[in-house]
Amino acid sequence: MDALIKSIRPNKSTDTKAPETRPAELDPAEFLAAAVRADQPRPSRAEAEQAVQTLLGYIGENPAREGLLDTPRRVVEAFDELYQGYHQCPAEVLDRTFGETAGYDDFVLIRDIEFTSQCEHHMMPFYGRAHIAYTPVERVVGLSKLARLTDIFARRLQTQEHLTAQIAAAIDEVLKPRGVAVVIEAEHTCMSVRGVAKHGAMTFTSRFTGMFRDNPAEQARFLSMVRGPNR
Ligand SMILES: [Zn+2]
């Protein structure tokens, strides 16, 4: 399934009557900056811990029993870690580029970037691997930066579709490559431990821009390398 967000690049199609099959344009301001301003009013840590106590009471627990005394603090600390992506800036990560491609004109693929994110519907983890390729024109980033970019978006409440689209759009917007390809495969615990409770079901999402969208052969080559041997 292709993520349901259209390319941030201008539509080159001359047929302006054709309805855009993908809804809402992704606004770079929404995904290129840190999601939370430092001065944004937020509930205090004490209020957050109080909310955890409320949930403990809701499930029938006694928040005052010894084993649970530190739980609200631990949960809020875990939230700080799991959701630190709200305070990090994706554009900054991609900002340090190398201008020299030394004549390299193929795509760069980073396979098997492990991530854990939280689904925005249940606040339960989904985790898996991202595979990212882009074809540099002038600007190349250090390979670890694409993993960091993935983590920044993953450490926010997400849908897998948005995660896929945001990674692709950020690379597209900052590096201006000839194309970006992103495939994400993930297991959703909201599906594996609750709801239909199906373990091991994997959800795949993909997003292609530029040459990967326009050239089926390049898209196929990317996919065969992602699925390729040594997996
Ligand atoms: Zn969910």
For residue 108, the domain's CATH number is 3.30.1130.10
Dihedral sign (CA 171, 7, 201, 75): positive
Residues 32 and 136 in one domain: no
Domain tally, the chain: 2
Residues 72 and 178 in one domain: no
Domain ranges, residue 42: 27-82
> pTM score, two decimals?
0.84
Dihedral sign (CA 35, 7, 214, 141): negative
Cα of 194 from ligand 1 centre, angstroms: 9
Catalytic: which of 158, 160, 166, 219? 160
- Residue partners of 219: CB distance under 8 A and separation at least 6: 181, 208, 212, 213
| 73 falls within a domain | yes
| 44 falls within a domain | yes
Catalytic: which of 30, 47, 120, 138? 120
- Output the pLDDT for position 95: 82
Burial class of 177 by CB neighbour count within 10 A (0 to 12, 13 to 18, 19+): buried
- Output the pLDDT for position 20: 40
Residues 139 and 177 in one domain: yes
Identify which of 230, 219, 205 has the alpha carbon closest to the alpha carbon of residue 128.
Answer: 205
Tell me whether residue 199 is one of the annotated catalytic residues: no
| 160 falls within a domain | yes
Residues 218 and 139 in one domain: yes
Residues 190 and 219 in one domain: yes
Partners of 97 in beta bridges = 141
Q: Are strands 180-188 and 97-98 parallel, antiparallel or unpaired?
A: unpaired
Residues 215 and 132 in one domain: yes
Distance CA 118, CA 134 (A): 26
- Output the pLDDT for position 7: 38
- Output the pLDDT for position 109: 95
Residues 172 and 204 in one domain: yes
Cα of 196 from ligand 1 centre, angstroms: 11
| 16 falls within a domain | no
- Output the pLDDT for position 73: 98
* Last residue in a domain, options 82, 112, 147: 82
Catalytic: which of 49, 118, 119, 162? 119
Residues 73 and 146 in one domain: no
Residues 44 and 158 in one domain: no
| 100 falls within a domain | yes
- Output the pLDDT for position 128: 98
Catalytic: which of 53, 89, 122, 187? 122
Residues 101 and 44 in one domain: no
Tell me whether residue 131 is one of the annotated catalytic residues: no
Tell me whether residue 30 is one of the annotated catalytic residues: no
| 130 falls within a domain | yes
Instruction: Please check whether residue 213 is in contact with residue 179, taking contact to mean a CB–CB distance below 8 angstroms.
Output: yes
Residues 120 and 146 in one domain: yes
Residue 108: C-alpha distances to residues 67, 128, 143, 144, 150 (Å): 49, 21, 9, 12, 16
Q: Is 184 helix (H, G, I), strand (E, B) or coil?
A: strand
Tell me whether residue 119 is one of the annotated catalytic residues: yes
**10-residue block means of pLDDT along the chain (231 residues)?**
40 41 57 75 96 98 97 98 93 79 84 97 97 91 92 97 96 93 97 87 96 97 88 61
Tell me whether residue 160 is one of the annotated catalytic residues: yes
Residues 171 and 128 in one domain: yes
Q: Is 214 helix (H, G, I), strand (E, B) or coil?
A: helix
